[in-house]
Structure 1
Amino acid sequence: MEPTQALLLANIKRIRKEKGLTQKDVAEGCGMLVPTYSRLERGGSNPSLASIVRIADALGIGVIELFQSSEIKDKSVAQKLSMINELSEYNRNVVTILLDSMIEKDRVEKLQDVKMKSRLSELNAIRKKA
């Protein structure tokens, strides 16, 4: 079994158990027969992309979570920053651009929230005068 498939199947099983779901729960949630789902989870068959999407939906998660290494997911931000420093220069630049974009997005959202609250206050003041 290739490493990506092994990671996918391990994550499906781990997340299912973390959420307290049975194989039957997930199978029903994604429209599979229980034996089919069970065989898939054991690595007896390769899931199609459509099946992966349905399984993620049944687990209540995004597809990307099924492919994330728990070694990385469980690390603190400080540990991840240390790992970023070990990336190639190109990948560090990509991460920098992504971080800058997220920080700017958050700043814009906060600004919009402040403006919206101000406008709502103005509307409330006008209503009270009327």
Structure 2
Amino acid sequence: MIDIETEVFSIVSAEVRKKYPKIYMTGEYVKSPPSFPCVSLIETDNQVYRNTRDSGCIENHAQVLYEVNVYSNKTSGKKTECKAIIALIDSKMEALGFTRTLMNPVPNEEDATVYRMVARYRAIVSKNKTIYRR
């Protein structure tokens, strides 16, 4: 299996922490963030890219999907904070070779006072970990 999740998380989180040193970043889904602002960056899909599978059924590329959730609980400016954080992540994911397929605000069902945005990114990754835009 081709797996780049740790590398992607490390690169993106390092970039985000430069601007937001106290941000809570995790590679797992967060139902209720322990602190704010919060970002979860997880690989939600990793499937064999069938178009490049060889005759021995060896995986040469994988199609991956990453989901980013950004949470803010500021009394005022929480939407602005989420948008700024997600814009920073978006530029880094694009620089890595990912294509954004979704970016929306979503209701945070755990706590309506928390603003939440979600984004999804796709790419094709080779077995030598080269990322290609889809």
What TM bracket, shorter-length normalisation?
under 0.3
**TM norm structure 2:** 0.27
Q: Which has the higher strand share?
A: 2
Normalised by the length of structure 1, the TM-score is 0.27
Higher relative contact order (CA 8 A, sep 6+): 2
Which structure shows the higher helix fraction? 1
Q: Give 1 or 2 for the bigger CA radius of gyration.
A: 1
